[in-house]
Amino acid sequence: MSAVPETISVWLVEDNEIYRRGLARAIASAAGMQCREAFADAESALAAISSGSRPDVILLDVGLPGMDGLSALKRFSQLVPDSRVVLLTVFNDTDKIFDAVCAGANGYLLKTASTQQVLDSIRQAANGGAPMDPDVAERVLRLFTQLARTKVPPTDGYGLSPREYQILEQMAQGLVNKEIAGVLSISPHTVINHLRSIYAKLHVNTNTGAVAKAIREGLV
C-alpha cells in the first residue's frame, strides 16, 4: 500500500443535506484531512472520478437515490482501487454487511457513530485498516463462523495455485502480509503479488472480501 498522505483527501457521498454538511464541516476542521468533495448522489461522484480526481478515502452512504451505495462501491473499486471506501449507513443488516464486504468495502459504520468515531475511522482507513462499528464487527464474525460450519464443497473453478490456497488459509486465520510471509518463508513482496492474483481470480478487491468468499465457497 502507498504511504499515508500528510493531508487525507476525503470525499463524502450522502443524500441527507443536513447530515452531509455537518459531517463535511467536521472533516474540514479536523487536523490532517480535508473534505475535498461532498456529493448528494453516486452519479456525481463517479463523474468527478472520470474527470481525474482521486480521493484517499470515500465515505459512502448505502441508501442513495438513483444508484445505490453497493452498486457505486463496485464502480469505485474498479475506477479508483487505491481509494479506501467506508460505508456510512443506517443499515445494520447482516446480508447487507456481507454484500458490502464482498463488494470491496474497507469499512462499515452506522450513522449513529459519533463525529469523532467517523474521523478516527477515516484515519484508520487511510492507514490501511478496516474500521467497523463494534456491533457490525460482531455480526461479521458471527456470520463468518456460520459460513465456516455450513460451507459448500470446495470448487477448483477459480484456478488458484497451491501457494495461493496457502495464503488464503493464513488470511482466514487473521494474519497480515508480513506475518504470512514469515509463516510461508517468502518475501512480503511475493505475498502482495500472490494477493493480486487471488483478488483477480476471486473477483474481489480486498482481503476481507477474499476471505469471505473463500469461507463461503469452502476454499479454506
Digit-coded pLDDT (tens) for 44-71: 999 999 888 889 999 999 889 999 998 8
CB 93 within 8 A of CB 13: no
pLDDT for position 1: 46
pLDDT at 176 over 70: yes
pLDDT for position 34: 94
Question: What average pLDDT does this structure show over 154-172?
Answer: 80
Grid cell locating 110: 452506522
Domains of the chain: 8-138 (3.40.50.2300), 151-216 (1.10.10.10)
Under DSSP, the state recorded for 104 is T
Under DSSP, the state recorded for 3 is P
- Which residue would you say has higher pLDDT here, 83 or 50? 83
pLDDT for position 90: 80
Cell 518475501 belongs to which residue?
187
pLDDT at 93 over 90: no
